[in-house]
Structure 1
Amino acid sequence: MLQFFLNMMTDIIKFIGNFYDEAEIIRGVIVWALGIFGIHQGLFVVVGFFFTRKFKPAKNFHKYAVLIPARNEEAVITNLIKSIKRQDYPSELITTFVVADNCTDNTAKIARENGAICYERFNDAERTKGYALRFLFEKIEEDYGIDSFEGYFVFDSDNLLNRDYVSKMNDAFDAGEKIITSYRNTKNFDENWVASTYAIHWLRSIRFRHRTRSFFRLATNIQGTGFLFANELVKDGWKYTSLTEDRAFTADAVAHGYGITYQDEAMFYDEQPTNLRIAMRQRIRWSKGHILAFLESGWPLFKNIFVGNCFRDKEEKRKITKASFIEGIRHRVASFDVLSQLTPTIIPKTFLWIVVGLFMYSCFAYTNGMEDIAVFTGGSWLVTGINAVLGTFSVNLEPGLAAMGVTAAIAIFWFVLGKLASDVANMLTAVYIFIVERKKIKKMKLWKKALYCVTWPVFDIFYRWSMYIALFAKVTWKPIPHTSKVTIEEIEN
């Protein structure tokens, strides 16, 4: 019986190994196709170094509502509201709303004492920030009417605004933009290395994404806080209640034909997590929301690349003018770009590596053995350097279990070596950010900058692992604690 089982397993391994060459070709084609999504990223980095969109001073002052979803934020919400009240924009045109969401502290009381209009919500079954915003818009519609305000800002309770923040955002809004994001700086950049990875990430987004996309009039992405949108986007209320409402909002808005611009001159400050466990928990939630947003909006965005705005009515599609033709091209490119951000390419790439690059390759070696298989290979700068210093090493083994096991070990080694090479090279991104954003980054000692350049790749390593976990884990929303009591005046001084 045992021999029968062993013979059957041998036949299965040989059968699988016989299809390795064909599977590797298919894998290569799929990886190449997924690579198309990143074909424009190099251009974006170069353009973002030189250019971003500039806005002329506004001719009109528009009326805005500022929305602050808050859950047990009594430690920080006062400083945000004060930074809103000290804006150089006409105060009568800014109304601040707070939704105290399932709070067990004095958030609501403190918000009211500081002049905000505060609604309290108690529904622990619906816990995401999106549900809090939906509730707040329902209350605004009931008591004021959505159209009472031309635009809506969204901030987290730990944020702080530069004095000219609203004025600069108004410049972009007055230029006709419907969705605008802004410059996200960090309150606690140098508190520890965990906070620094987030700070560098937000600045990387500015340099590698926001600046170029705004310059080309495409659609950048909303990132949770520090953004403004026109009232027409919520005429039917707020509908984005997933784990990452910002990704859902971005994808849906672009699918419906909206652009999303970036105002480089409007700066606000954000508090970043300092605890590794909390940071990983947040990253898993982001990744789960990323996957859900792709499932919800990926298909409309894909269709838009080929047929234009699939949400327009047929009559409108028939009217072709020069302006509509140009807008159609812009929207197709924007849809492709947002889809490229939204597609979790790391998941199919990793799956293909496990199935083809690891399992089927090992089965192939069981049947065919190993002949001059290089130990250090993969084409990375790290492999080139190792081979130049140590010379090349190759392995030869006869067919059988030994060849299968060694091949599996070498395949894993290649995978780790490739990731290590990209992660070490990624340190240069942090160096670049510290150089180009030196005037806006908080001053800190050189040794700290060097440390943060070394630890920065951990952020992207967390991204990879959070994606793998989020694919299978049941993820729930949990609040991120905010404790920094720094004020905007302290930052300015």
Structure 2
Amino acid sequence: MKAIIIFNAVISILFTLCYAYQFFYLFVGLLKGEQKFKAVREHKFAAVISARNERDVIGQLISSIKSQNYPKDKLDVFVIADNCTDDTAQVAREAGAIVYERFNKVQVGKGYALDWLFKIIDRDHKDAGYEGYMIFDADNILDVNYVSEMNKVFDNGYDILTSYRNSKNFDSNWISAAYSLWFLREARYLNNSRMQLGTSCAISGTGFLVGANVIEGNGGWIHHLLTEDIEFTCDSVSKGMKIGYASKAVLYDEQPTKFSQSYTQRLRWAKGFYQVFANYGGKLLKGVLKGSFSCLDMFMTVMPAMLLTLLSVLINVVAIPVAIATDAPETAILVQALIQTLVNFYGLFFILGLLTAITEWDQIHCVWYKKVLYLFTFPVFMLSYVPIAIIALFKKVEWKPIKHSVVRTLDEVRSNEAA
């Protein structure tokens, strides 16, 4: 039983050593303001949207792109209606997008759809002179200054950029609120801090910009794992590229509201992280050995840390009945260690949620008491990730679309706190 106590101490020390730098990120996010950029010129961009049966929401996204405070002749909208069985293509065309329909039941997923479209753009729109591509999901809507803010940072030499990811439906329930807090925390306390410190940021799902030179250099969109965003991030960082962050470019995203949807999505994310770690862990480690902090950061990001947490909990859960059965004197210590692990987990994520809610209070669009209430359920949501991470180890996971149905204008999203 003493071996279990030593094991618990080793796990605690490992976590501290591996993730201490992210606590430093917290202080940077708290103490340092946002960076300001100015653009010398306005670049020409194409907004790219991969959509599957998204007729309910895609029109609002295209409208928000068309309403940007940016020259109309320097911003086009492309939609891939990917394996659609509804009238997404027609709705997108009527909203003013250039639409291509793709039907491929073998190469399924956003990565394949993007690669297919980039090849079509190279074929049919080669003379358009696009300098960068902004990639969105169909359920997004954009602040009116989104493109101009992305342009400012792009003009300052960043070939890959991510943006501030907010949510359309924080107020729906504890599940959507947990997602929202996590993405707001990523924006403020990870990507913002990375940008301040001059290291590379990370792409998260949607709302990012890729320079045309990067797409050309890669030979299209070559990332097809279950989490193509983090795969693209790790691939780029391992090649020595630096990903920037435009803190004032605000995007609103729809979050799942049902646990079944959340389970399916996070199962894919967990499996995808394992795939990325298996494929890029070695490359990142080589970068770490060459002195790249960005590679170290991404290595720690994709390393399956949840498994260490689960391993610690499982060993203690198994050890406690054995200790009781053998009347071991360490029984009380083991019970205390298990409880302490769970309390520490809850406390850590409560603090992360609290810091995020305090600093991003005005960006969270719902009534005040929901902002407070969902702080207490946020750690529970994160704890539910642990069994999902284990299931993902053994279960075959395929990409599946998640139905989006929250139709809100920016004014409606921002008026929620007054409800």
Aligned-residue offset at 1:441: 1.7
- Give distance in 2, aligned partners of 1:338 and 1:449: 30
Q: 2:42 aligns with which of 23, 41, 61?
A: 61
Is the 1:98–1:117 Cα contact (8 Å) retained in structure 2? yes
Please give the TM-score of this superposition, normalised by the length of structure 2: 0.91
**1:338 corresponds to:** 298
Is the 1:52–1:212 Cα contact (8 Å) retained in structure 2? no
* Residue 250, structure 1, aligned to residue 172, structure 2: no
Residues 40-92 of structure 1: CA deviation (Å, up to 9, x unaligned): 11110011112255132201110111110000000000010010001111111
- Percent same amino acid among aligned pairs? 37
- Give distance in 1, aligned partners of 2:145 and 2:131: 19
Q: 1:190 to 1:362 in 2, by over 3 A?
A: closer
**2:98 corresponds to:** 117
- Give distance in 1, aligned partners of 2:27 and 2:106: 46
Q: 1:249 to 1:425 in 2, by over 3 A?
A: closer
Is the 2:63–2:95 Cα contact (8 Å) retained in structure 1? yes
Instruction: Give RMSD over aligned pairs.
Output: 2.4
Aligned-residue offset at 1:32: 3.5
Structure 1: segments with no counterpart, 5+ residues: 1-19, 308-328, 378-409
Structure 1 runs of 4+ with >4 Å offset:
20-31, 352-355, 357-367
Residues 206-226 of structure 1: CA deviation (Å, up to 9, x unaligned): 222011101011112111101
Q: 1:370 aligns with which of 319, 328, 353?
A: 328
Please give the secondary structure, in 2, of the residue aligned with 1:290: helix
**1:430 corresponds to:** 353
Q: 2:267 aligns with which of 284, 292, 301?
A: 284
Q: 2:77 aligns with which of 90, 96, 99?
A: 96
**1:262 corresponds to:** 245
Higher-Rg member (1/2):
1
| Alignment coverage as a number of residue pairs | 413
- Give distance in 2, aligned partners of 1:226 and 1:41: 23
* Residue 474, structure 1, aligned to residue 404, structure 2: no
Residues 158-184 of structure 1: CA deviation (Å, up to 9, x unaligned): 101111110000000000011111111
Is the 2:364–2:371 Cα contact (8 Å) retained in structure 1? no
Map residues 28-107 of structure 1 onto 2, 5 A cutoff: 29=10, 32-33=13-14, 35-107=16-88
Q: 2:118 aligns with which of 137, 148, 152?
A: 137
* Residue 457, structure 1, aligned to residue 379, structure 2: yes
- Give distance in 2, aligned partners of 1:231 and 1:52: 30
Is the 1:55–1:175 Cα contact (8 Å) retained in structure 2? no
Residues 313-341 of structure 1: CA deviation (Å, up to 9, x unaligned): xxxxxxxxxxxxxxxx5xx1111111111
Structure 2: segments with no counterpart, 5+ residues: none
Please give the secondary structure, in 2, of the residue aligned with 1:100: strand
- Give distance in 1, aligned partners of 2:247 and 2:102: 34
- Give distance in 1, aligned partners of 2:312 and 2:354: 33
Map residues 171-320 of structure 1 onto 2, 5 A cutoff: 171-235=152-216, 236-307=219-290
- Give distance in 2, aligned partners of 1:281 and 1:303: 33
Residues 274-301 of structure 1: CA deviation (Å, up to 9, x unaligned): 1111111111111111111111111101
Is the 1:184–1:226 Cα contact (8 Å) retained in structure 2? yes
Matched to 1:438, the amino acid is: W
Is the 1:81–1:116 Cα contact (8 Å) retained in structure 2? yes
Is the 1:283–1:462 Cα contact (8 Å) retained in structure 2? no
| 57-66 or 429-438, larger mean C-alpha shift | 429-438
Q: 1:483 aligns with which of 388, 405, 411?
A: 405
Is the 2:170–2:177 Cα contact (8 Å) retained in structure 1? yes
Is the 1:187–1:270 Cα contact (8 Å) retained in structure 2? yes
Aligned-residue offset at 1:427: 2.4
